[in-house]
Amino acid sequence: MAYSDFKLSELIKTFSLTLSETVDLFADVNEVECSENLAFNLKENIPLAVAIGTEKARSEMIIVPILLEMKRRLKHQISLFSGTDFNVDFDKGLNGICDFIISLSPEQLFVKAPVITLVEAKNDNIKSGLGQCVAEMIAAQLFNEREGNDIQLIYGVVTTGELWKFLKLEGKHVSIDLSNYPVGNANKILGILLSTIQDTKIDE
């Protein structure tokens, strides 16, 4: 079993989680204006990524530029990993490849705690990625605990590139934002991504 095998309903039972579904979970988060470079790249890349229609194209042309913008805004004090094995507990099925891992550490040669955000790319169905993303968030929580980093909040993102959905894990409680944020509002997406880093720092 691996992250991709989990269904959300199954996870709730297996790991004794509680779940809340909230509209506009991040409504109070301020937008952050994208750089001219990001705005230009998205304008050029989005039509091409959609035309190609593959998960890889969406990841490379839409998702990565936004995540790199976040990393630059934070002066590279976080690390960003793509397509990385994140094997935390094989017995619990918490193993497999994560599309993107963000750690609150500048170390870029290997994944170092605390892992704070997991981003899962899906070609066209956000709902199908919820179970996988939450499983990765649980793994990050366990990984951090084992490394002596008891971070209270773990964030998750499931995105097609065009639409972004945000999740939050605090203890045993999962919050899912019922709102999907379109990439046309990249300023809001960037604002939420940056706020997850700030929230994590505050709660350390």
Q: What is the pLDDT of residue 204?
A: 46
Which residue, among 171, 19, 1, 170, has the nearest Cα to 92 in the 3D structure?
Answer: 1
Q: What are the structural domains of the chain?
A: 3-203 (3.90.1570)
pLDDT digit string, tens, across residues 87-135 = 999 999 999 999 999 999 999 998 998 999 999 999 888 999 999 999 9
- Kindly state the tokens that stand for 153: 């909040």
pLDDT digit string, tens, across residues 161-185 = 999 999 999 999 999 999 999 999 9
pTM here is 0.93
Secondary structure (DSSP) of 78-92: SEEEEEEE--SBTTT
φ, ψ for residue 195 (rounded to 5)? -65, -30
| Helical spans, DSSP H, in 59-185 | 64-73, 130-146
pLDDT digit string, tens, across residues 21-67 = 988 899 999 999 999 999 999 999 999 999 999 999 999 999 999 99
| Helical spans, DSSP H, in 55-173 | 55-58, 64-73, 130-146
Q: What is the pLDDT of residue 201?
A: 58
Q: What is the pLDDT of residue 151?
A: 87
Q: What is the pLDDT of residue 181?
A: 96
How many angstroms separate the CA atoms of 198 and 87, rounded?
Answer: 27
Q: What is the pLDDT of residue 150?
A: 81
Which position has the higher pLDDT, 139 or 197?
139
